Structure 1
Amino acid sequence: MTTSDSQTKNQGPSSAFVTFSLAEETYAIDVLQVQEVLKITDIAPVPGVPDYILGIINLRGDVVTVIDARRRMALPDREPDDASRIVIIDVDNQNVGILVDSVAEVVQISPDAVDPAPAVGNDQTSRFILGVTSTEEGLTILIDLNKLLSDDEWATIRNI
């Protein structure tokens, strides 16, 4: 490998991602946006919001909107169980909860190990995908939280 090849492959330090599962697939989000991971708690429904918004929770005195990642990504519904978690993320200095099937671990993913998002699925789900990386366990789909909570959705969440 030449020096220029080495520089192309080594685009910087690895980034840390929190991995979680949805519908038997592994997804990952940037660890810097994750505030904490909670067990399922009572979620108060909010009338008149999109179906992917489950409602709100009280997190140490702060009201946090919780969205269902399965619904948001057009995956089949599933009842939460003991493994289900609410991942509290920070987007534009506001906390939002994302309900996932389970949370696995924090992994390091080198930027050169990420392939561009494939042109599969429908526009609703493919626009959330930042890229894909292959591990010994299979594929991990990197989610772009900024696209998951695009302007229209973010306006709805801020108004709750």
Structure 2
Amino acid sequence: MSLQAEADQLQMLKALEQKKQDQQSRKSQQEEIIYHQRATFRVDNELYGIDVMQVKEVLRYSEITPVPGADASILGIINLRGNVVTVIDTRQLFRLPPAQPDDETRVIVVEFNESEVIGLVVDSVDEVLSLPQSEVDRAPNASGDETSKRFVQGVCYHNGMLIILLDLSKMLLSITPADDEDIVASSGAL
């Protein structure tokens, strides 16, 4: 074999090795992408997303029994197969103008904790999306409203649409009455 042929063969082996390393690098980068599934819904023409693992079911809007003395964002309760479900008006919670329920209005039943489920009244439900964690940005501090800022986990653009990702636990804790133990502990008296 001539010296030139050996040099060409060595060059080819190096190129094959580089190609193999590039493929392994791309494969490991693809494996590192973390996706989160989000159930998306609309309120006042804005698209919101929550962790799909917290969603139990989606119901058509039906009669809600009011609860006297409840927080303004609590519409009332419904009976769901023998279980009482507290229903929250997301428009009221987000400080948006009220709207009459229509054929698109839904109640998203979500798991609040191990022993309680909550219903969220939304204008319409959209779809379940797998969103890469790398594309989620921090929520901008454009609003002076501290209440809504603390609900927002981040924002993400998907197919040219902005999705506001909500922290459901923080959102629901903001309207859940504190336990007597929490009140005593926060007042400093034991």
The TM-score with structure 1 as length reference comes to 0.88
The residue number in structure 1 matching 2:54 is 33
d(CA) in 2 for partners of 1:98 and 1:14?
24
Greater CA drift, 24-33 or 69-78: 69-78
C-alpha distance after superposition, 1:60-119 (max 9, x if no partner): 000000000111111111111110000000011211000000001000011101000110
Q: Which of 68, 74, 82 is equivalent to 1:47?
A: 68
Q: What RMSD, in angstroms, separates the aligned Cα atoms of the two structures?
A: 1.9
Give 2:172's match in structure 1, choosing from 149, 152, 157. Answer: 149
Pair 74,11 (structure 1): closer, same or farther in 2 beyond 3 Å: farther
Post-superposition, which runs of at least 4 consecutive aligned residues in structure 1 deviate over 4 A?
Answer: 9-12
Q: Alignment length, in residue pairs?
A: 151
Deviation at 1:12, TM superposition (A): 4.4
Instruction: Tell whether 2:38 aligns with 1:17.
Output: yes
Counterpart position of 1:89: 110
Q: Give the structure 2 partner of residue 118 of structure 1.
A: 140
Separation of aligned partners in 1, 2:93 and 2:81 = 26
CA distance in 1, matches of 2:124, 2:78: 19
Question: Which 5+ residue runs of structure 2 have no aligned equivalent?
Answer: 1-24, 179-190
Which residue does 1:98 correspond to in 2? 120
Conserved? CA contact 2:54–2:110, under 8 Å: yes
More strand by share: 1
Which structure has the bigger radius of gyration? Answer: 2
SS at match of 1:149: helix
Q: Structure 1: which 5+ runs fail to align?
A: none
Contact 2:34 2:134 in 1 (8 A): no
Q: Which residue of 2 aligns with 1:139?
A: 162
Query: What pairs up with 1:51-70 in 2 under 5 angstroms?
Result: 51-70=72-91
By relative contact order (CA 8 Å, sep 6+), the higher-ranking structure is 1
TM-score by length of 2: 0.74
Whichever structure has more helix as a proportion of its residues is 2
Q: Is the 8 A contact 1:74 1:124 kept in 2?
A: no
